[in-house]
Amino acid sequence: MKKIVSILFVASLGLFAGCSKFLDRQPLDSASSATFFQTEAEMDLGLNGVYAASFWAFPNNTPLLFAIEATTDLAIKRTGNAEDQVAMGDGGPFLISNSLPSTAWTQAYKLVTRANILLEGMKKGEANVSAASYKRMRAEALTLRAWGYYNIMGWFGDPVFFQQPLTPDQYETIGRTPVAQAVAALYTDLDEAAQFFDQAGAAPIITYGRVNKGAALAVKAKLALLVSDWSTAKNATKAVIDGGQYGLNPRYTDLFVLAGQRANVNRECMFVQTYPTDVLDPQNWLTVLTIPRQVGTSQSSHFPSQVLVDKFEGIDGKRIDQSAVYSPAAPSANRDPRLRWTLYMQGDTMVHNTSKTPALPYVQPKERTVFNIYSNTRRKFNWNTNVYDNVTGNIDWIGYLASPWFAGATGSSGGVGYIWRKYNDSTQYSWETKTGYINLRYADILLMYAEAKAELNEIDATLFAALNAVRARAGMPAIATGSQASLRQQIRRERAVELAGEGQRLIDLRRWDLYTQANSFPVVGVSLDPAVPAETPTFDNNDIPDYTVSVPKRLKTRVQTRANQNPRYKLWPIPQGELDKNKNLIQNTSW
């Protein structure tokens, strides 16, 4: 079965290759005709092509949404990279020519266009396939197209919105559609998709990596939140919850390893960007990009931020500035367990699979390294002696400032003292990992439901049940009461810590109108001297930390201050090439 899927994946790429002449004129990857899909086999190939276009990647085999996370307050990318320039705003500089929004635009519109071609072309062959197969395939394509448009609108605002294949001339004269109008049209599509999934008798999870009714309702809820349509978001997520087909995996960490995703206990993973395991490429290098340089064969370029670390509550369920069990002298102790499941901190034992063959004494093929940033020593497990050795030389040491790297877990081009643990699947060779990247999961459904209920001021048992289910899985105490304002901040903080690194944060900040405020701060990190811990930050009414008092005591060798106060940074710029092709497109304000 795996081999068949891979063959279809590759074959579907060729199906759409006839549009190569279009690619230098418009952001489409489409066939010159929508008449191909006459049989079920042809439709299946076309649908595989749509799925192939939903496989979004940035350079170095990085899932695109993971790259985008580094443009938010929760993560940082090595200085000078496209993501870092976007995050820095005026200090980047963030220019229209930046490759991140350009890549995001191209990939999302490739998905939209392939879905349009299939949806239009398969109408001609409807009589040649069973009703169930036709409805299922149409429902999948509608859902994937809506997913593409959701992200386009979250990144760029008003989309270039079209639901049928376009000729180059048509594309080059089309204007932008208001977000609310596009969302209304997509509601209709997703209602049809949900109905067709039911009529086709589609399983809750059709197969690993494919969308179904739950995903259709999830995308509808996300679209609703984008336009503050709280009632629609509530109803869509409630339909998923009441359907009883999904639940939380009892082990949070299983969500981010291949075996756990394939087992998919309680079907928490609802839509995953998958990597075929029977061919070498494509690969997911997320682990490679996050391995610190005190471990072998790393790239060490994508890091969690101090802001993310400080979002995690004390184990008593209180924010760190209010918690009686939190101490800045022991910042990893007595915290929400998701902190340690999400990232590595000083003293944590990291396990990475860095070689296909043993290279004793330290690789077997896994490396066990105690994360250390406070001395020029690496603590590595010796597989010959079964003890940890002190190995001299540590590029991740905060005192390491020698050129040319500046690029370890700390340093002016690197991180601020923390490393991602999420998605580190040590059962796989780090340069050839096949762990999927999760686009939609059930925990998000619960948090979207809680948010919609809170915004409607419908503070009742169902809100607390949804919120507390996510917290209980992590071992955190339940929230029993709260005002609308306090619950708003609680739910937003819960989204930050539960979904960190999963590509959700940018659109969340934008729809809450908090991107400018949340992403304008000096880039600082761990205490320079653990014996003289930096003061706990203060937090404003939007749960945004302030490090002003503690800056002198914190790692700040990046010498960066993110500056996104300019209103233009609330949206990305449309790539200049698109404006050159289509004079009817209007650039976002101030770009």
* Comparison of pLDDT for 413 and 253, the residue scoring more: 253
Give me the pLDDT at residue 425, please.
96
Q: How many CB atoms lie within 10 A of CB 360?
A: 9
For tokens 């300019």, name the residue: 566
For tokens 């149409």, name the residue: 138
Cα–Cα distance, 156 to 66 (Å, whole number): 18
Give me the pLDDT at residue 12, please.
40
Rounded to an integer, the average pLDDT of 266-283 is: 96
What is the pTM assigned to this prediction?
A: 0.94
User: If you average pLDDT over every residue of the chain, what do you get?
Assistant: 92
Pairing outcome for strands 366-370 and 377-382: antiparallel
In contact, 357 and 365? CB cutoff 8 Å: yes
Helical (H) or strand (E) element with 338: helix 338-342
Phi, psi of 298 (to 5 degrees): -110, 170
Q: How confident is the model at residue 408 (pLDDT cuts 50, 70, 90)?
A: low
Give me the pLDDT at residue 364, please.
94
Q: How confident is the model at residue 558 (pLDDT cuts 50, 70, 90)?
A: confident
Among candidates 79, 125, 86, 127, which has minimal Cα distance to 104?
Answer: 86
Give me the pLDDT at residue 171, please.
87
Burial of 307 (0-12, 13-18, 19+ CB in 10 A): buried
In contact, 88 and 103? CB cutoff 8 Å: no
Tell me the β-bridge partners of 378. Answer: 391
In contact, 83 and 77? CB cutoff 8 Å: yes
C-alpha separations of 197 from 175, 274, 551 in Å: 33, 21, 54
In contact, 236 and 401? CB cutoff 8 Å: no
Rounded to an integer, the average pLDDT of 445-451 is: 99
**Diameter of the chain by CA atoms?**
74
Look at residue 405 and tell me whether its pLDDT is greater than 60: no
Three-state secondary-structure class, residue 525: coil
Give me the pLDDT at residue 26, please.
43
Give me the pLDDT at residue 35, please.
64
Contacts of 28 (CB under 8 A, 6+ apart): 19, 22, 109, 110, 113, 166, 171
Q: How confident is the model at residue 398 (pLDDT cuts 50, 70, 90)?
A: confident
Look at residue 199 and tell me whether its pLDDT is greater than 80: yes
Pairing outcome for strands 538-539 and 349-353: unpaired
Look at residue 30 and tell me whether its pLDDT is greater than 80: no
Cα–Cα distance, 459 to 173 (Å, whole number): 47
CA 279 to chain centre: 24
Structure tokens at 355: 């070689």
Look at residue 2 and tell me whether its pLDDT is greater than 60: no
pLDDT digits over 492-551, tens only?
999 999 999 999 999 999 999 999 999 999 999 999 999 999 999 999 999 999 999 999
Structure tokens at 544: 């945004």
Give me the pLDDT at residue 44, please.
96
C-alpha separations of 80 from 68, 413, 522, 584 in Å: 15, 8, 16, 33
Look at residue 402 and tell me whether its pLDDT is greater than 60: no
In contact, 148 and 112? CB cutoff 8 Å: yes
Look at residue 36 and tell me whether its pLDDT is greater than 70: yes
pLDDT digits over 320-376, tens only?
999 999 999 999 999 999 999 999 999 999 999 999 999 999 999 999 999 999 999
pLDDT digits over 148-196, tens only?
999 999 999 999 999 999 988 898 899 999 999 999 999 999 999 999 9
Rounded to an integer, the average pLDDT of 409-419 is: 82
Torsion of CA 309, 314, 319, 322, to 10 degrees: -130
Tell me the β-bridge partners of 539. Answer: 545
Structure tokens at 141: 């394509």
Contacts of 201 (CB under 8 A, 6+ apart): 132
